[in-house]
Chain A
Amino acid sequence: MCTLEKRGNLFILTLTGEDRHLFNPDLISSLLKLLSQVKAQATCGSALITQAQGKFFSYGFDLDWAQAAGSEQGAVKRLQQMADLFKPVIATLLSLPMPTIAAITGHAVAAGFTLALSHDYLIMRKDRGILWMPEVDIALTLPDYINALFKEMIGDASVRRHLLLRGLKMKGDEAEKRGVVKAAYDGEAEVREASVCLAENLGKRKWHGEVYAEIRKGLYPQLSAILGLSHKVYAIARL
C-alpha cells in the first residue's frame, strides 16, 4: 500500500505495487499515519519525497469501492467519505515542517493529481504519464478544498480552466512549460534521481521547519483557511 523510509535526512513515502494506488479509506488512513510520523520525526534539514511504483502515481479515489455501495445514494455517500478523509492528508502536507517533493513517474489523476499538487515541488516524467482532472467528464463536482488548492497552486487562470473545465490530459513537457510542474525528465530513473538531488539541496539549507511551514501556509491563505490551519508568528531570527 504505502511505506515510509528514511535515508539520511530524506523521508521517502512510497505508494507500493503495480496497481493504480486508488485512494480508498484504508490507503488514505495509511498515508495520514505515515505523514504524521514524518512530521513527528522532522528535524532541521529534513525533506520529503512522495513517489510511487509502477505505471501510476495514483488514479484518485476508489470509484469501484464507492459503486460497491449498491445504490447511487450510497455511492455518493462513499465518495463524500473519501473526500472528507482525504482533507487531513492535504492539511498535513500543507503544514509539514520541511520541503516536500512529488516524484511523478506515472499517471496522476484526480485525487492523485491533487496529492502531487500539495507538494512544494513537482517533478514529472516527460515521456510517460499525465496529469488529469477527469471530474468534468464523469460529472463530479470538486470539494471546496480541492478548488482552493488548484486556485492557489496554479496561478495561471487559463491553465486552471483547461485542467478543471476542459479535463485536459497534460503531459510532462506541457506541464513544465505551463509551470504546473517544476521540471520534467525522460525516464523513471531520471525523475527519481532529480527528486533526490533537489531534496538534498533543499535539505542543505537547514531551514527551520516550523517557520518553513508557516511561510508555506502564508502562500496559500484561502486553502489554509478551508483546511482549518491556523497561523503562528515565529521569530527564530538568525540575525
Chain B
Amino acid sequence: MCSLEKRGNLFILTLTGKNVEHRLNPEVLSSIISALSRAKAKSTRGSALVTVSHGKFFCNGFDLDWVNATGSKQEAQQRFDYSLDCLTQLVQAFISLPMPTVAAVNGHAAAAGVVIPLCHDYVVMRRDRGVLYVNDLEMGLKIPELYMAFFRAKTSGWALRDLVLRGLKIKGEELLKMGIVDAVYDGEEGVTNAGMKMADDLARRKWDGEVYAEIRKGLYSEFCGMLGIASKAIGTPKL
C-alpha cells in the first residue's frame, strides 16, 4: 500500500500501491490517507513531507482489475465512482497537510495517478525515464469538473491544453517547461535524493504549518470552493 517513515524533520511517504504499477483502489487510498493523518498528528514547525516510489512506475492510475471484477457494468461503474471519491478525499488530505510537500517522481504516472504528484507543492522528476499521461481523452472519459478545477490550479494556457486535451505522454523536460515540474534529475537515486533535499530546504524555513496549509488552499481556491472547503483566516502572526 504505502509506508511512512520519519527521518528527522522529514516524513517520507513511499507509495507501493497494488502491484508493480502502484495502482490505486479504495484500500490503497485509505492507507495513504491514514499515513497523512499520522504525519499531520506528529507535525511541528519545520516538518516537511516527501513522497517517493520505486521502479518503473510512480502510479499508473486506478486498479481497473478490481473495478471490473464485478458481475455487471453498473457495479463496475459504482466501484469506479467510489475510487474517484476516495481519490478526492486523498487530494483534500494533501491540500490540507500542515507542511510543505514534495513529490519525487521516479517513473510513469498516468490517469488518476497523475493527480498524486500534482497534489504536492513541488514536483521533481526523472529526466531519463517516466512520463505524465492524462489519458481520459484517449479512454473516452470526461474529466470531472472538480478535476478540471484541480488542473487549472496547477497550470494554465497552452500547458493546460497540452496536459488534458492532447493525449500526450509528457516527459520531465517538457513538464519543466510547462511549469508542472520544478526540476528534473537523472536516475531514480538522483531524483529521490533531490526530492529529499528540497523537502529539507523547505522544512528549514520553519513555517507555521496551519498558516502554510491555508495559504496553499488559497492557491486551489476554485477546487476548494467546489468541495465547500472554506479557507480560514488565521492571525497568530509573528509581527
**Interfacial residues, chain A to chain B (CB-CB below 8 A):** 63, 66-67, 72, 75-76, 79-80, 135-144, 147-148, 151, 155-161, 164-167
Contacts and interface: CB of A to CB of B under 8 A. Distances in A.
16 contacts: A80-B235, A135-B215, A137-B207, A138-B238, A138-B239, A139-B207, A139-B208, A141-B231, A141-B235, A142-B218, A147-B218, A147-B221, A148-B221, A151-B219, A165-B215, A167-B205
Nearest to A67: B239
B215 A164 contact: yes
B239 A151 contact: no
Interface stretch (B57-65, B125-133, B150-158, B166-174): B150-158
Interface residues of B, number: 31
Contact of A75 (B121, B182, B215, B239): B239
Contacts of A63: 237, 239
Given A139-B236, A141-B231, A141-B234, A161 B207 contact: no
A136 B153 contact: no
Interface in B185-239: 202, 205, 207-208, 211-212, 214-216, 218-219, 221, 231-239
Nearest to A143: B233
A139 B211 contact: yes
B184 to A, nearest CB: 14
Contacts of B232: 141
Contacts of B155: 157-158
A165 B95 CA distance: 12
A140 B211 CA distance: 6
B55 interface: no
Contact of B219 (A79, A135, A137, A165): A165
A136 B157 CA distance: 27
A211 B5 CA distance: 58
Nearest first, the 3 closest Cβ-Cβ pairs linking A and B are: A76-B235, A158-B179, A139-B208
Given A139-B207, A139-B208, A155-B156, A165 B216 contact: yes
Contacts of B234: 139-141
Given A75-B235, A139-B208, A147-B221, A158 B182 contact: yes
B221 A141 contact: no
Contacts of B205: 136-137, 167
A155 B158 CA distance: 11
B198 to A, nearest CB: 11
